[in-house]
Amino acid sequence: MSVNVAVVGATGAVGDLMRKVLAERNFPIKSIKFLASEKSAGKSVEFAGKLYTVELIRPEAFAGVQIVLSSTPSSVSKEYSPIAARAGAIVVDNSSAWRMDPDCPLVVPEVNADELHNIKKGIVANPNCVAIPLCVALKPLHDLAKVKRVVVATYQSSSGKGAKGLMDFEAQISAWASGKPVPTPTAHKGQLAGNVITLDWTLDPNGFTEEENKVINETRKIMGDSSIGVCPTCVRVPVKVAHSEAITVEFHNPLSVANAKAALAKAPGVIFMDETKGGQFPQPIHAEGSDHTFVGRVRQDPSCPNALSLWVVADNLRKGAASNAVQCAEELVKRGIVK
């Protein structure tokens, strides 16, 4: 079955990757259109060797569209994703607007694809770029021993702030490396070159950042277990692309390192790198450009008998955003949910 597709926010960093991923994965497209704001409408974008003119986002543009892949600010999503859904499309929305809506499934296909059969508002929420790889790694372990508590420290790349973040970072790196004064940050909330930033996000009243609270709430929803304890510390590091996570997981039941490694090695969407066999370990340079979640450094937590520690890396723009959305769309087609 081939379907009519619209990509909303087509000229942004994630929208650009959505086009690339759709082509790479040979998504079954009958027709495709690209939508954006007035600022970008009229521009040309390339898809599968052809040029397309970007159209203005407007209600009429969704006529006949079956799947919408949307990556816009939350304010735009709140306005237009319901309009697209009322026009008959299923929207896979990359903003944070719908993630905690009880009527919108929050989906990582390797973890909870069955939730796609319960789309009440016509909107599927694409999770946060930290929660996605975290849950991909947790799922096979949860199936074996049931996750009780997760403590995670993130090492998040500059590209999490989009193109402006990368421009900011590259200007800082250039100045820092040559011994010149580092320019004042414009996207990041502090100097990133030669530094790390723990408050590159809005600080919420509970003392956690907005990003950290997303990880807490979204992980529980994706895993389908509100009792899971989640304690994150999110940190911006001087890396261009790919987020890394140092994770310690406490389980309700015993789980050996050997059994955890075996489960991860065969888990969907995971590339397991065992440092005890060849010295390989996941790094951002491995994950950049990949749709997989890289997992390694699995070891027993010496302070807790029912806990393991592991290291996870994934491309935040692909698996953390664009590719996960396209994978959701693939599942919608495969399962016959799209009409």
Provide the annotated active-site residues. 129, 243
Closest among 218, 244, 282, 270 to 157, alpha carbons compared: 244
Angle at 125 between CA 121 and CA 126, to 5 degrees: 160
Pairwise CA distance, residues 309 & 235, whole Å: 18
Pairwise CA distance, residues 180 & 41, whole Å: 39
Closest among 156, 139, 155, 158 to 147, alpha carbons compared: 139
DSSP 8-state class, residue 306? T
**Positive/negative CA dihedral, 131, 75, 165, 207:** negative
Distance of CA 24 to the CA centre of its chain: 18
Pairwise CA distance, residues 44 & 51, whole Å: 6
CB 339: neighbour CB atoms within 10 A?
8
DSSP 8-state class, residue 33? E
Please state, in angstroms and as integers, the Cα–Cα distance from residue 156 to each residue in 15, 137, 159, 237, following that order. Answer: 20, 17, 8, 6
Question: Do residues 304 and 323 make contact, with C-beta atoms less than 8 angstroms apart?
Answer: no
Tell me the residue type at 136.
V
Tokens encoding 174? 């250039």
